[in-house]
Amino acid sequence: MSLRVIDPGPLTTVQDAGRPGWAHLGVPRAGFVDAASATLAHRLVGNPEHAALLETTLGGVRFVLEVARTLAVTGARCDVTADGRAIPLDHAVTLPAGTEVVVGAARRGLRSYVAPAGGIVAEPVLGSRSTDTLAGIGPPALRAGTVLPLGAPGAPAATDVAAPSWPAAVLRLRPGPQADWLLRPRELDGAVARVGAASNRVGVRLEGVRVERRAGELPSEGMVLGAVQAPGGGELVVFLNDHPPTGGYPVIGVVDPRDLAWCAQARPGDEVRLRLV
């Protein structure tokens, strides 16, 4: 029971709920970035919410199911086909063995989630099957020819699920431990930033908003998901799932957890409004 990759796209990885609790050993949390979309995909096919699935980035993925299996695709808006026939997003579909599935390039958003019933049973590392792009642990990013074993389908799929609403382009920032380093903090409230091209699973770079802060740096200290760092250049970085466990730039804010879904689906050039709360 397996899935064979034909074309992995720009970046397709195996992700589950991550490996929190290892930061004291220098290991990031990893895991799916858009938790709401990944959870929806799992519920549609009857998987536990911590199971492993595929996370694509912008360009989609193409693979062959070598066993009959129920499948769901969620997250970024894209075209999905099975042997050339369109299948819907945010729905479970059952496909026969030998079906070639193409998850197309994202038209809106950045990351799609592909959940086969039974999940992907790659070898776990520190209790997780997630690919960590920063520390380089977990399954490697998919390549053409990669074969991924699938687990046995479990519980019946949920029937009371609905796709989450698309996240608004607003980031609510709670004060961070170095919020007092900002010389004019109120200028951030209502400012519009743009996602930089260097954004990835480690963090979203926000351009177009230049903050003024105190001079100097800090000893490295622990970082959390959603931490907003202010490097010396004046632009901001929002830490995502593969963020380093420590950092030395001042953390001037932390993104409200409800707004991390926007960060997960933000693509270069997208704009977002900042709000101080």
Q: Is 88 exposed, middle or buried (0-12, 13-18, 19+ CB in 10 A)?
A: exposed
Phi, psi for residue 25 in degrees, rounded to 5: -105, 10
Residue 12 tokens, joined? 């397709």
Distance CA 4, CA 174 (A): 44
Ramachandran category for residue 168: left, alpha or beta (phi over 0 → left; psi -120 to 50 → alpha): beta
Kindly give the confidence (pLDDT) of every residue in the chain, 277 residues in length, as a single tens digit, with 9 standing for 90 and above: 999 999 999 999 999 999 999 988 889 999 999 999 999 999 999 999 999 999 999 999 999 999 999 999 999 999 999 999 999 999 999 999 999 999 999 999 999 999 999 999 999 999 999 999 998 999 999 999 999 999 999 876 766 677 778 889 999 999 999 999 998 888 899 999 999 999 999 999 999 988 888 888 889 999 999 999 999 887 899 999 999 999 999 999 999 999 999 999 999 999 999 999 9
Q: Same structural domain for residues 93 and 228? A: no
Q: Which residue has the tokens 């220098």?
A: 26
Q: Same structural domain for residues 113 and 232? A: no
Q: Same structural domain for residues 23 and 102? A: yes
118, 149, 180 — which closes off a domain?
149
pTM score, whole prediction: 0.94
Indicate the pairing of strand 271-276 with strand 100-103: unpaired
Does residue 130 lie in a domain region? yes
Q: Same structural domain for residues 13 and 60? A: yes
Domain total in the chain? 2
Kindly report the CATH number assigned to the domain that includes residue 186. Answer: 2.40.100.10
Distance CA 40, CA 24 (A): 31
What's the length of the chain? 277
- Domain residue limits at 201: 170-276
Q: Same structural domain for residues 144 and 174? A: no
Q: Same structural domain for residues 215 and 263? A: yes
Does residue 156 lie in a domain region? no
Q: Same structural domain for residues 49 and 139? A: yes
